[in-house]
Amino acid sequence: MDTSIIGKPTGAWKVTVERGPVSTFAAAVGDTNPIYRDRHVAQAAGFKDLPAPPTFTFAAGFWGAFAEDQPEDPTGGTNPMHSVMGALHAQGALVLHGEQEFTYHRTPVVGDVLLGEGEVMDVYEKDTDAASMTFIVIRTVWTDAESGAPVVTEQFNLIARLRK
């Protein structure tokens, strides 16, 4: 197990929260609440614009991340999580998305520009009679690009299960 990746970056993103992706994400997760589609409803609920649905930041790097706005890749082009999980997958491991948690410092809304930075927090193994499992814990902190204040902190585990 390669614990040298603990503390290494997994990426950096600059994302503009946009109305289309917020509404599309809400629809994709089956949330029909008009707060994600109607600015007047969102404002009546106390938001300055449409709020992003819960868990939106996990997918945010795929929406509203314009190439010309992106920060320099802190991984040097090699995400350590991908390297470890890729090597285990090549040996036949089943890679699974495990536990995930979100801490909201405030709700992101349409118009926000967010900066995200990911980091490997932990790597550990657990063995059973049938398999070895490698766990990688990743934390991504999303901050407001203007103020630097934290917006959302997310943490998730990837698990590689390799049969013995």
**19: pLDDT strictly greater than 80:** yes
Q: Encode pLDDT of 51-92 as tens digits.
A: 999 999 999 888 767 889 999 999 988 999 999 999 999 999
- Return the pLDDT at 1: 79
Bridge-partner residues for 18, per DSSP? Answer: none
Q: Helix or strand or coil: residue 107?
A: coil
Query: Is 155 in contact with 100 (CB distance < 8 Å)?
Result: yes
Q: How confident is the model at residue 155 (pLDDT cuts 50, 70, 90)?
A: very high
In this prediction, residue 64 carries a pLDDT of: 67
Q: Give the least confident one: 14-18, 37-41, 62-66, 149-153.
A: 62-66
Domains of the chain, first to last: 3-163 (3.10.129.10)
Bridge-based pairing state of the strands 150-163 and 113-127: unpaired
Tell me the HSE value of 55 on the side-chain side, using a 13 A CA sphere. 9
Per-residue pLDDT reduced to its tens digit, 95-142:
999 999 999 999 999 999 999 999 999 999 999 999 999 999 999 999
Tell me the C-alpha distance between 111 and 119, whole Å.
26
